[in-house]
Structure 1
Amino acid sequence: QRKALASVTLLVPWMIWKHMNECVFDNASPSIATLVGRIKDEASSWATAGALGLRTVL
């Protein structure tokens, strides 16, 4: 669980940052639903790539 928490601690702020940049620079509309969906997708990708702790969260 410690590894999962560490991964989530990195993943969530990173995805918020990316979403914010899309809103500022690409004129995308801010959307919590979109952000949460992208976080889930990215977490799944990280788990597939070897972040095994994230599998317990998913």
Structure 2
Amino acid sequence: MGAMPGVPRKGLRSLLLLVCWQLWLERNARMFQRTERPAHALLSQIRDEARTWKSAGAKHLAALLEGV
């Protein structure tokens, strides 16, 4: 996917990092706090966090998320 024309490589890497981080946090919540969110809530959290990163200045991620 990173070799596709028009897909910003750095933005894709940032998105991958963001998703891995959110999955790690969810895993920790399930293991240590015995709580879990449904998949749609996790996806919503990932979207919200991506918007936060975008507003914080992640310009490559912002280019990838245009229209989202």
The TM-score with structure 2 as length reference comes to 0.74
Say whether 1:53 aligns with 2:55. no
For the pair 1:12 / 2:22, whether they are aligned, the reply is no
2:33 equivalent to 1:26: yes
CA RMSD of aligned residues (A): 1.3
Q: How many Å apart are 1:9 and its aligned residue?
A: 1.6
Instruction: Give how far 1:30 is off.
Output: 4.2
Equivalent pairs counted in the alignment come to 58
- Which one is further off, 27-36 or 46-55? 27-36
Q: Which residue of 1 aligns with 2:49?
A: 42
Q: Which runs of 4+ in 1 moved over 3 A?
A: none
* Partner residue in 1 for 2:3: none
Q: Identity of aligned pairs, percent?
A: 38
Quick one: distance in 2 between partners of 1:29 and 1:15?
A: 12
Larger radius of gyration: 2
